[in-house]
Amino acid sequence: MDFERPFRRWYAGAEEAMTGMRTHRPERSVLMVGYYYTPIENPGTRRLGAFARYLPQYGYRPVVLTTSSYGACADDDARLIFRAPDILDVGRWLARRVYCARSVDLGDRLSPMITPDSRLSRVLEHVLIPDIHIGWVPGAVLRGRALLRSGAFGVIFSSSPPPSAHLAALALKRMSGLPWVADFRDGWTFEPPNPVMFTSPARLRIERTLERAVVLSADRIVTVNRVIADDLRRRYPATAGRIAVISNGYDSADIAGLQSYVKGERLRIIHTGSLAYSQSHRSINGFLAALDRLHQQQSPVLADLDVRFVGRLSASERDVLTRTGCWGCVTVEGPLSHREALQRQFSADVLLLVTSASAASVTTSKLFEYLASGRPVLALTGRSAAAELIEELDAGIVVAPDDVEDICRALKWFHERWRSNELPTRVDPRVQRFDRRALTGNLARMFDTLVEMETKEEL
């Protein structure tokens, strides 16, 4: 069987799709490389998607290179979205077939076996370097090379996690010589979302070598906060002048038309998004212990609480929260659309943020949406970038995730303010600097500098 034939057809198709850009292209185009993109919803998708949405307003035409693992959209061609296959999807498909064959015995346990917290996923995380999505890199490089042959591009942009996106962009940078901006939404070997690399000294050396290649090869490096930027400057001092911070943010278009806050009969504390699914060592055990202590104290706070978790949770987290529901104040709503999750945030009395106690570099995109809602935040976090931002804007209360006594005090404080109608309900004007349209302008100006430098060198 000729395994190369479908790839040749696919490669040629990418070139044909870019033909129009050869003759009718805008002055500047950017190839955006990112694993997560629509139709899947997650924070990485929203950051990359917002950049793609607003870059045309700053003179750049985005062309998105992403994976086909999550399907496609009907308007991919019109939006210049190109999808690369993941060769490991074949293995995942076979695994699902094996599990399906055993589904009579497994019953409801079938789905968890292939989720991110399943045994299969944990095995792959230990085997595949730098991440379990490495299988999409060959296809991304092949398709990216076909796109770059159109000559339509002035700059390459890649965003991680997963860091495999940077490896694809590194290869394309070396093939084309185009300037490249590498965007770090999380650290790679510094406080990674899943620190599996630290279980093996050999693997850690490999990952640090890959990280070094990316950091030293990128023409500009973007991080979402100062903590990640400072780490890179410390470990790679030669790159200090090429590192800039473009924070996560909120999209004003997403929150337009949402219903404003109305006080209800109970104190609504809302958490949206995932917990350990997206950040290992993130735990709500301290929060649940605080609820248990309030229960033991027969506190009137517990009778007024309505705590809701909206988003994807692991099986173990759902089990713990379901058992906690016997107090009558905890509800697990499960995943909702991004729009529905935003409405939950705007309807909350208090918004709950949970990070790892030891992670200093965390500022999730959820936090900026929280800030845009004007609702106060109960942040269970250590001395992190998120804590600094909340304290700077006086946007809520910061408590260590495992400090049960302080969590109880915070809940009592919010309860008192809620009963007396004294909870804050305004958006701090300083939050406007985190609008994604403005943040995209910062990125576009970085592109301008690189394109101008490239043009001068050619002259």
Q: Which residues pair with 206 in a beta bridge?
A: none
Strands 243-245 and 180-184: unpaired
Give the pLDDT confidence of 244-253 residue by residue, as tens digits: 999 999 999 9
For residues 83-102, give the mean pLDDT.
68
Distance between CA 348 and CA 260 in Å, rounded? Answer: 10
Order of strands, sheet of 330-334, starting from the edge strand that comes earlier in the sequence: 330-334, 305-310, 267-272, 350-354, 377-380, 396-399
Q: Please report, for the chain, how many H helices and E strands are present, in that order.
A: 19, 13
pLDDT of 338 > 50? The answer is yes
Structure confidence at residue 68 as a pLDDT band (50, 70, 90):
very high
Q: What is the pLDDT of residue 4?
A: 37
CA–CA–CA angle 34, 35, 41 (5° rounding): 105
Per-residue pLDDT at 7: 40
Q: What does the pLDDT look like over 103-154, one tens digit per residue?
A: 444 333 333 334 555 666 677 787 899 999 999 999 999 999 999 998 889 9
Per-residue pLDDT reduced to its tens digit, 191-227? 888 788 888 899 999 999 999 999 999 999 999 999 9
| pLDDT tens for each residue of 386-444 | 999 999 999 999 999 999 999 999 999 999 999 999 998 778 899 999 999 999 999 99
Supply 74's token pair: 């009907």
- The Cβ-side half-sphere exposure at 80, using a 13 Å CA radius, reads 24
* Cis geometry, peptide bond prior to residue 112 (ω within 30 degrees of 0): no
DSSP symbol at 350? E
Residue 16: its H or E element: helix 4-17
d(CA 361, CA 96): 36
Q: Under a CB-based contact definition with an 8 Å cutoff, are residues 67 and 136 in contact?
A: yes
pTM: 0.86
Q: CA geometry: angle at 450 spanning 447 and 455, to 5°?
A: 120
Strand partners, 334: 310
Q: Is the pLDDT of residue 25 over 60?
A: no
253: Cβ–Cβ under 8 A, 6 or more apart, which residues? none
